Amino acid sequence: GENVEQHPSTLSVQEGDSAVIKCTYSDSASNYFPWYKQELGKRPQLIIDIRSNVGEKKDQRIAVTLNKTAKHFSLHITETQPEDSAVYFCAATLVTSGTYKYIFGTGTRLKVLA
């Protein structure tokens, strides 16, 4: 079935360094790829997204890249800060045979060490 694989499951970086989280999706029909940040005890919130007709998108210190051929997309956070510590989820939407699903990755716990 359709799935989204996310790596790594945990990531520790020093403050100021960059962090990269990678996801792979299985169904070539997927066309929307959001990233959500979930702080401890809070709800997930969208931080950036990309659609299948775009290869890269940036918003200040965060960026997302998409390689449709390889079915990979990645989240890049530069100049990490302690407040970036959270769990990050990638997702892919799937529209096929009249269904409209969201498939999430299993999450990456990012720790930014001061």
Partner 1 sequence: EAQVTQNPRYLITVTGKKLTVTCSQNMNHEYMSWYRQDPGLGLRQIYYSMNVEVTDKGDVPEGYKVSRKEKRNFPLILESPSPNQTSLYFCASSLSWQTGELFFGEGSRLTVL
Total interface residues for partner 1 by CB under 8 A: 27
Reading the block at residue 46, the tokens are 């969208």
Question: Which listed residue (53, 83, 100, 114) binds partner 1 by CB under 8 A?
Answer: 100
Neighbour-count burial of 112, counting CB atoms closer than 10 A to its CB (0-12 exposed, 13-18 middle, 19+ buried) = buried
Q: How many CA atoms lie within 13 A of 35 on its CB side?
A: 28
Task: Out of 24, 30, 85, 93, point to the residue binding partner 1 (CB under 8 A).
Answer: 93
Does 103 participate in binding partner 1 (rule CB under 8 A)? Answer: yes
Rounded Cα–Cα distance for residues 88 and 105 (Å): 9
Q: Is residue 62 within 8 Å of residue 42, measured between CB atoms?
A: no
Over the window 31 to 70, marking each residue x when it contacts partner 1 by CB under 8 A and - when it does not, the resulting string is -x-x-x-----xxxxx--x-x-------------------
The residues that touch partner 1, with contacts defined as CB under 8 A, are 1, 6, 9, 32, 34, 36, 42-46, 49, 51, 89, 91, 93, 95, 98-107
